[in-house]
Amino acid sequence: MRKGFGLLVAILIMMSVALLMTMMISYSTSSVKSTIDLYLKEQAEILTRNATEFALLAISGHENNQSCIEKIKINYPNALNPTHHADVNIWYIGNGIPVTCSHILENNISTSDSNLTAIIDVVVTVDQNKTGISEPIRLHRRTIQKP
């Protein structure tokens, strides 16, 4: 009778250790997944700020008398194998904007301080196929800037 009881206790101990190990592996994989998601989200947030600054630099370096910059596409970290895509749309307010520009919200403003004001919309998406994340990451940032 004692040999059977010892076998039963050994099986119960092995089952409880296996259950604990399974729980530990499950928690560690979910921790790794959340760390990767947080890392990619932080990269996307930084890319929204950088894309806004890049759009301001592009507007200020562009000759706005003949044409205007309306859209910018950015692939991060490179164009061949991007994990993040940033789409920048630029809308203009004020006088002095070329007629060929189609992204004009208002050009009948009486104050000269508001001329050539830009509304910059940045949308950053993370490529789920290349990063392996299960939930999509998409961030939007809108700023009003005076280039």
Helices (H), ranges, the chain: 2-61, 128-131
Tens of pLDDT along the chain (147 residues)?
566 788 888 889 999 999 999 888 887 777 777 888 889 999 999 999 999 999 999 988 887 677 788 999 999 999 899 999 999 999 988 777 777 788 877 777 767 777 778 899 999 999 988 888 888 999 999 999 887
Q: What is the DSSP string of 114-138?
A: GTTEEEEEEEEEE-HHHH--SS--E
pTM assigned to the model? 0.74
